Structure 1
């Protein structure tokens, strides 16, 4: 690939953590000429991109504003810039009293012969799209660009820039496993392992959840009936609460957390859930409350309750299986009523009260099963 031409613009260059960062202005219509939008999608090769789908309502509103006359549009667009870009520092003496914050010069942005672009939009895809559609494409807009062609760095900056904005939580959770935890705030780092476990549960053919989990990148697949956020929340609680089923595999003293051991226990338990309730497994939540977020949360609470007793058995999976199969006739996942709750199966919703009552119901059923087994 060779550059056939380039755009030259005046810019200021500085360094952050050894990375070149540029500030400059571009005519609004040219932003999408030099920069790509990497959409979030999952392919056979893994997770691609990081940007959410365009929000047409927002774009239309911005286009209307841009076309309304002389407008102020000062919000900077954030780009990741290819290392193929070059910078030439301007010559000449610096004015007295100048704060040494950067060097002025000319930045050259190459256009490649194969049509590929030299930058990627990290923040500002809606604005860039609106600017490209506006009647006046010459409105100069501020751009900040850091040099990196590493997709992981792009994702890190995308998450951090959008942390304080209403970025969909499910989308952030799906991206977190692809990002180095060392560069994340503590609250996001805590969400990374549960989300990585959910990724693995969906991808592993040996997992009972294989192909059933609906993430942002696969939301249009009708066969995916389990919302990822329900599993992420359940696993996060099981890892970080002291009595959670997975808490014993979490480091408390700076040692290593063991996600592989967590994964094995999760697969063992949920495989037995699938076997105990085959008629309720894999159906949409409208047809099976086992696949509903309330059912996922309640079964997770049951796992927390059963885990200490399972640890006393040579084969914990056999204990899980016996208990769940004994409970099965009294469960109302797809029809009937929950006796203690006095609720029809399809009346259970994802409210804190319903989840708590369903969890209590399942735990009582497991205790009755235990009494029958030891009698």
Structure 2
């Protein structure tokens, strides 16, 4: 015995006619209800013929969106785009004005291959709503009638071929946000805030040296000051490393605020500048100190130095303290000329590349020499207040 057909879904909607004569339908619906009338046209080949257009779910992306949707204050303003076949109809309300007409969209409730709707854009958002531990999550939707898969694929291509936001712009915008964000962005908020302070604060040793969307790279000096030479992604990665398991992690765990973190990093790079003045603030093609590999390797060395200094009782190292630590490896660095004497063999100064393997090679080399030379020095115990 066949199950009784479900009553169609009736949702308030606006009908907008565009110059081409095609009509759009703007409405809202609980995201958990969408699978009852719309499906995914998954891309595949059958007998050599391409069918469908949607890519598989990106599980990590879905999980991040789901986590955000379950957070307090979650807001998803971008609309899901749905294509409907001719079974979906629009009923205009009596007396509706010209232009955007008010009415109801009537959608048959059938799921699976027989569904009258297809998800053109918003697959990951809908999958996240489906899995989210919330009773309901209304979403804005834009619908249109498309009788062929080709028409659906056309809109899918147009929606998904737009240029995404540059990562650098996202990182630069993050410090101004306060609401909960997807986990991947949440992890970058504090390092992005630190990067902004280091690049903009008046007293920062890195002021104006970091390439961002609003502080682009340029050659040489302008207006008596150095132009940006350090890629934001390199410094951001260095800050993330330190926040995960370095001196910034120790500061955060101790309850220190952002001012203390900025001061620590600024003091370190001020010491770097005074230790290698001829390599400082030059283009990465002229100095590997400004290169991603140099930035990340020296940042890891900062974590080593702070660890040793803390063991000696110096929990608030100054620029002068850092200069003494850097002096231990000053003569072995080939930032602008010469060669690096790695255990595996010599490498020309400009052969070092910004890859995980090369960053690790440089960081391990500097770290090993630093520990070796520091072990040969007598420990300097910091005098405590009130000591004779």
| Uncovered stretches (5+) of structure 2, i.e. residues with no partner | 1-10, 21-76, 80-92, 97-101, 108-139, 143-158, 220-226, 380-388
Runs of 4+ with >6 A deviation? 90-99
Q: Which residue of 2 aligns with 1:167?
A: 165
Q: Report if aligned partners of 1:238, 1:247 keep a CA contact under 8 Å in 2.
A: yes
Aligned pairs, number: 236
**Residues 364, 179 of structure 1: CA spacing in aligned structure 2 closer, same or farther, 3 A cutoff?**
same
**Residues 27, 230 of structure 1: CA spacing in aligned structure 2 closer, same or farther, 3 A cutoff?**
farther
- Structure 1 distance, partners of 2:169, 2:203, is 25
Task: Report the alpha carbon displacement of residue 322 of structure 1 after superposing the two structures with TM.
Answer: 0.4
Residues 186-335 of structure 1: pairs in structure 2 closer than 5 A: 186-222=183-219, 223-240=227-244, 243-250=245-252, 258-311=257-310, 312-313=313-314, 316-317=317-318, 318-335=320-337
With normalisation by structure 2, the TM-score equals 0.53
- Structure 2 distance, partners of 1:362, 1:249, is 23
SS at match of 2:377: helix
- Structure 2 distance, partners of 1:262, 1:23, is 54
**Residues 329, 98 of structure 1: CA spacing in aligned structure 2 closer, same or farther, 3 A cutoff?**
same
**Residues 92, 230 of structure 1: CA spacing in aligned structure 2 closer, same or farther, 3 A cutoff?**
same
Q: Report if aligned partners of 1:289, 1:346 keep a CA contact under 8 Å in 2.
A: yes
Residues 1-375 of structure 1: pairs in structure 2 closer than 5 A: 24=16, 27=19, 166-182=164-180, 184-222=181-219, 223-240=227-244, 243-250=245-252, 258-311=257-310, 312-313=313-314, 316-317=317-318, 318-340=320-342, 341-374=345-378
- Structure 2 distance, partners of 1:296, 1:23, is 55
Task: Report the alpha carbon displacement of residue 319 of structure 1 after superposing the two structures with TM.
Answer: 3.0
With normalisation by structure 1, the TM-score equals 0.55
| Uncovered stretches (5+) of structure 1, i.e. residues with no partner | 1-11, 15-21, 29-76, 80-89, 100-141, 145-160
Query: What is the root-mean-square deviation of aligned Cα atoms in Å?
Result: 3.8
Deviations 1:255-295 (A, max 9, x none): x7732221121112111111111111010001100000000
- Structure 2 distance, partners of 1:250, 1:13, is 50
SS at match of 2:327: helix
Task: Report the alpha carbon displacement of residue 172 of structure 1 after superposing the two structures with TM.
Answer: 1.3
